[in-house]
Copies of this chain bind each other. A is one copy, B any other.
Amino acid sequence: MSNQVRRDVFQAIADPTRRAIIALIALQAMTPNAIAEHFESSRQAVSKHLQILTECDLLRQEQRGREIYYQLEIDKMKEIDKWLNQFRKIWETRFNQLDEVLATIKSMGK
């Protein structure tokens, strides 16, 4: 099920729990148990989310004794930001584009 399926960042952040996990450990690395305490979910459920997040390089593991600290790979978040860039251009020149679209639709109606 969660084998060598190349995980996608967008698919990873689709789940609200995973987004919450990301936000939680953004500033400080945490262990699965510590993370699970912040949610209703069981440790195993959280562990699955951590696995998915790790598979797409959003998280990085750091073993310390028998504990594993999960840390956010902040650079990977920029990938989402990069995807948004194409649309950022649009909403920054919002008024010009709106005029253009309206003109296009009007001319198509003829």
Asked if residues B91 and A74 are in contact (CB atoms below 8 Å), the reply is yes
**Which of the four size classes fits the interface of chain A?**
35 or more
A5 within 8 A of B: no
The interface of chain A, by Cβ under 8 A from chain B, is 8, 10-11, 13-14, 16, 19, 22-23, 26-29, 62, 64, 69, 71-72, 74-75, 77-78, 80-81, 83-84, 86-88, 90-91, 94, 97, 100-101, 104-105, 108-109
* Residues of the B chain whose Cβ atoms lie less than 8 Å from the Cβ of A11: 14
* In the A-B complex, the 6 residue pairs with the closest CB atoms: A14-B14, A74-B91, A11-B14, A77-B87, A10-B14, A74-B90
Docked Cα-Cα span, A103 to B90, in Å, equals 38
Q: Which one of B71, B75, B105 lies within 8 Å of A101 (CB-CB)?
A: B71
